[in-house]
């Protein structure tokens, strides 16, 4: 009773039943009883049974207005009849003779007034059904349906399959529309956010150029210290631009594709110190303080170096962004258990409202206060995907007005 690969097996029995099931452990025994009872009936009477997993095809449950599962529906012949609850087997026993009579009446009508294909197909077109495997009995004692009924139901099976394909195409269309919106949003934000660091880097370079090649023929008036400061400032801005572009490329590439990892034995403490050195010019520019607590006896972790670097840079960038001038940022590593190492990056910024703390890792989610600021709403979402791909956890502890602490874990390397 599983859905076939080609989904194209036609129906031949005039009595057609649809069984909606779910995967809850509490439903397993009930569903098994229903299946077994229908198998017993199948040896005595010819009918088609199509099985639908509510979890895989929820739109069909909505189409039939189901409020509970499992549920058994007689979809043909009309009128439709739905059985639900904890006593479906007893209900089938009660209604079975009526269903048989409805089939007999239907076949009699076919003999006297044969239906065209369109008449039999119309109800299925209206429902947009998706078939499972028909469970057809070949009992010789059961009369075969009228030829026009067989033809009609065969056509209806094809149309059922077509309606399911149309539904899938609609889903793909919505996904493509969302990707186009994402692209347009990213282009607009990128054009806006790149302007500031590009302008700052350009000013630094132009100032250095004028000092080295003055138009009036005078000598440079920049001291070595000022020259070094301008070079440092330009380098900081180009790094900011590089991070923006990297985040965009990773976000656009990883949002739909499967995240690929190349985990190796990794010295996490050294990587954290390397990333701290990388972002330190930003810390200095805002006159912030960055403290680290990296134990010397940390075990090595099993992780992808570049992916973990992404997480660290994203979280430190956020900490720098939201920490006020002269504020404090802390990075600490803790060997929590024999299986996990925890990294915590804390700030004393504005904090995150409690009602938003479960949503900040969602794709494109941004706090209302951040709508006017730079950012793409993909950084924390990407961090979560990377950490989970390592079988780790990521979460935030935050109090509004007192700061935030982002934590994530990575597995310890086992030789």
Taking only the tens place, the pLDDT of each residue in 233-272 is 788 778 777 766 766 666 555 554 456 788 999 999 999 9
pLDDT digits (tens, 9 = 90+) for 78-116: 888 889 888 899 999 989 988 988 888 888 888 776 544
Which of 190, 224, 254 is the last residue in one of the domains?
Answer: 254
CA distances from 317 to 35, 190, 320, 412 (A): 57, 17, 5, 26
Q: Which of 193, 219, 254 is the last residue of a domain?
A: 254
Q: Does 25 share its domain with 160?
A: yes
| High-pLDDT (> 70) share of the chain, % | 71
Helices 224-254, 147-212: axis angle to 10 degrees equals 180
- The interaxial angle of helices 268-285 and 224-254, nearest 10 deg, is 120
Find the domain containing 250 and state its range: 175-254
Q: Decide if 11 is inside a domain.
A: no
- Pairwise CA distance, residues 361 & 383, whole Å: 8
**Domain's final residue, options 220, 254, 288:** 254
One domain for residues 207 and 347? no
* pLDDT the model gives residue 116: 46
Same domain, 154 and 234: no
Q: Is residue 99 part of a domain?
A: yes
What are the residue ranges of helices labelled H in 213-223?
none
Counting the structural domains of the chain, the total is: 3
323 and 193 co-located in one domain = no
Phi, psi angles (nearest 5°) of residue 163: -65, -35
* pLDDT value for 311: 92
Task: Say yes or no: 141 and 46 in one domain.
Answer: yes
- Can you tell me the distance from the alpha carbon of 379 to that of 366, in angstroms, rounded to the nearest whole number? 10
Q: How many CB atoms lie within 10 A of CB 289?
A: 13
Q: Is residue 3 part of a domain?
A: no
Question: 113 and 197 share a domain?
Answer: no
| pTM for the full predicted model | 0.47
**pLDDT value at position 394?**
93
Could you read off the pLDDT of 274-323 as tens digits, one per residue?
A: 999 888 888 988 899 999 999 999 999 999 998 899 899 889 988 998 89
**Does 28 share its domain with 83?**
yes
Q: Would 6 be classed as within a structural domain?
A: no
Rounded Cα distance, 120 and 118, in Å: 6
């Amino acid at each position: 009773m599983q859905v076939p690969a080609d989904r194209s097996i036609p129906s031949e029995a005039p009595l057609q039943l649809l069984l909606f099931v779910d995967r809850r452990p509490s439903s397993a025994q009930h569903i098994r009883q229903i299946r077994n009872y229908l198998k017993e009936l199948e040896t005595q009477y010819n009918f088609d049974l199509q099985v639908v997993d509510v979890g895989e095809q929820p739109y069909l449950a909505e189409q039939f207005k189901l409020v509970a599962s499992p549920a058994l529906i007689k979809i043909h012949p009309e009128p439709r009849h739905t059985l639900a609850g904890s006593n479906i087997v007893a209900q089938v026993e009660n209604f079975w003779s009526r269903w048989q009579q409805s089939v007999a009446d239907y076949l009699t009508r076919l003999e006297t007034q044969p239906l065209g294909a369109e008449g039999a197909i119309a109800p299925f077109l209206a429902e947009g059904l998706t078939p499972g495997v028909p469970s057809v009995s070949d009992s010789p004692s059961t009369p075969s349906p009228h030829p026009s009924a067989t033809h009609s139901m065969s056509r209806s099976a094809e149309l059922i399959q077509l309606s399911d394909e149309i539904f899938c195409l609609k889903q793909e269309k919505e996904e493509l529309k969302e990707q186009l919106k994402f692209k347009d949003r990213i282009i607009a934000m990128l054009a806006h956010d790149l302007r500031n660091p590009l302008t700052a880097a350009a000013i630094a370079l132009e100032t250095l150029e004028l000092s080295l090649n003055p138009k009036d023929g005078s000598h440079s008036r920049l001291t070595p210290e000022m020259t070094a400061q301008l070079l440092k400032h330009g380098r900081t801005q180009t790094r900011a631009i590089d991070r923006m572009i990297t985040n965009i490329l990773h976000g656009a590439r990883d949002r739909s594709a499967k995240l690929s990892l190349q985990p190796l034995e990794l010295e996490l403490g050294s990587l954290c110190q390397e990333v701290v050195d990388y972002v330190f010019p930003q810390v200095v520019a805002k006159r912030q303080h960055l403290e680290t607590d990296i134990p010397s006896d940390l075990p090595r972790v099993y992780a992808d170096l570049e992916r973990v670097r992404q997480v660290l840079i994203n979280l430190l960038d956020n900490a720098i962004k939201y920490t006020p001038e002269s504020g404090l940022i802390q990075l600490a590593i803790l060997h929590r258990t024999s299986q996990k190492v925890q990294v915590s990056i804390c700030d004393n910024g504005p904090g995150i409202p409690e009602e938003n703390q479960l949503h900040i890792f969602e794709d494109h989610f941004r706090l209302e206060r951040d709508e006017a600021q730079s950012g793409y709403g993909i950084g924390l979402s990407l961090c979560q995907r990377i950490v989970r791909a390592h079988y780790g956890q990521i979460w935030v502890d935050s109090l509004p007005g007192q700061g935030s602490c982002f934590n994530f874990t990575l597995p310890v390397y086992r030789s």
